[in-house]
Structures are given as C-alpha cells and as structure tokens.
Amino acid sequence: MKRRTMMAAMLCAALTLPLPRMAQGETMNVHASLSVDARHDKVLVTFRVENRGERRIGLPREIAADTELTRRVFDLREHPGEAEVPYTGRMVKRGPLTLDDYVELAPHSAHTHTIDITRFYAFRPGTHTYLIRYAGEVLGDVRQLDSAATIGTEAVMFSHTGK
C-alpha cells in the first residue's frame, strides 16, 4: 500500500476577546491558528498567534516555547467519527500557573512555534485522517494573572501514517 501523506492547509480563527480589568470598551485583538505538517513519519504542529492589539499579551509557555508536552494540550480526534485520540505522553502535576509560565507578545507582533506531537498521542498504525484544534488561555495583561481570556483555533484536518 502506498503511503499517503498530506500537509493540511492552515485554518485560522480570529478572535476579539473582552479583556478583564481594562478600560471600558477596550478589547484584546488576537488571531490564532494551527497548521500541521504530517510528512516524514512525524506530526509537526505549528501554533501561530498575532497580537493585533495595543497591549502586551501573555501566551502560555507550553504552547509558545516548550518542545515537550506535559499534558493533553491539543484536542486530537479521528476523522470521521470524532473519536478522541488518547494522549500517551507524560503528565506533570503542578500548581496554578504563575507569570513565569507565560511568554510576552508585544503589540502588533506575531509568534510562531512548532511542536512535534508524534510520540505524545496514540496515532493508529496505517494511514488515517485526524482533526486537531487548540483551546487555552491568553493573558490580556502580562502583569495580571486574572486577565486571562480563552483563545482557540479552528480544527485542522490532516492524514498521518502511523507505524
């Protein structure tokens, strides 16, 4: 059977989120997207965030800079059927996030980070199609932990050939 690979097109989700504890009517303007490259026996997920607002925001370090996952960060599902693909990586129990757990993103700038998730999820042997999305938090003010707002991406479909 020939090996079938596909690099999924990047799907984007633009979000304008209300910011807690800011001036009346002020909003955070954040654009988040995922792309997947499932060639060469790996599943490389690229997370991109654009800060289109006027304030510095905070991105969780686990998605913005880390190379090892320590929990189920991505919602990964089989397609069709939407069956959850089990997370098989290590789980690290930790306390509440601190300001050190965030990476600053300046106004009118973008940040891109790629993570190899191949060994962290139970991809089935053979060629299969999957959907992946991200949902997490972003700090609207890098100095305030209580300024967190939800951020997410649209689902991206890709094929991967597992061993």
Which CATH number covers residue 78?
2.60.40.2970
pLDDT at 3 over 60: no
Share of the chain above pLDDT 90, in %: 77
User: Which residues, 6 or more positions from 61, have their beta carbon under 8 angstroms from its beta carbon?
Assistant: 100, 101, 102, 103
Count of the separate structural domains present in the chain? 1
pLDDT at position 27: 74
Greater model confidence, 17 or 82: 82
Beta bridge partners of 110: 50
With respect to residue 69, please indicate whether it lies within any of the assigned structural domains: yes
47, 117 in Cβ contact below 8 A? no
Distances from the Cα of 16 to the Cα of 61, 143, 149, angstroms: 21, 20, 10
Arithmetic mean of pLDDT over the chain: 86
The tens digit of pLDDT for each residue in 97-111 reads 899 999 999 999 999
- Residue 131: pLDDT over 80: yes
The per-residue pLDDT for 13 is: 36
pTM over 0.75: yes
Query: Does residue 61 carry a pLDDT above 90?
Result: yes
Residue 163 lies in a domain: no
Any domain includes 2: no
Q: What pLDDT shows up at residue 9? A: 32
* pLDDT tens profile 110-128: 999 999 999 999 999 999 9
According to the model, what pLDDT value does residue 26 have?
60
- Per-residue b/e over 72-103, b at no fewer than 16 CB within 10 Å? bbbbbbeeeeeeebebebeeeeeeebeeeebb
Domain region containing 114: 7-158
Please give the structure tokens belonging to residue 141. Answer: 């003010």
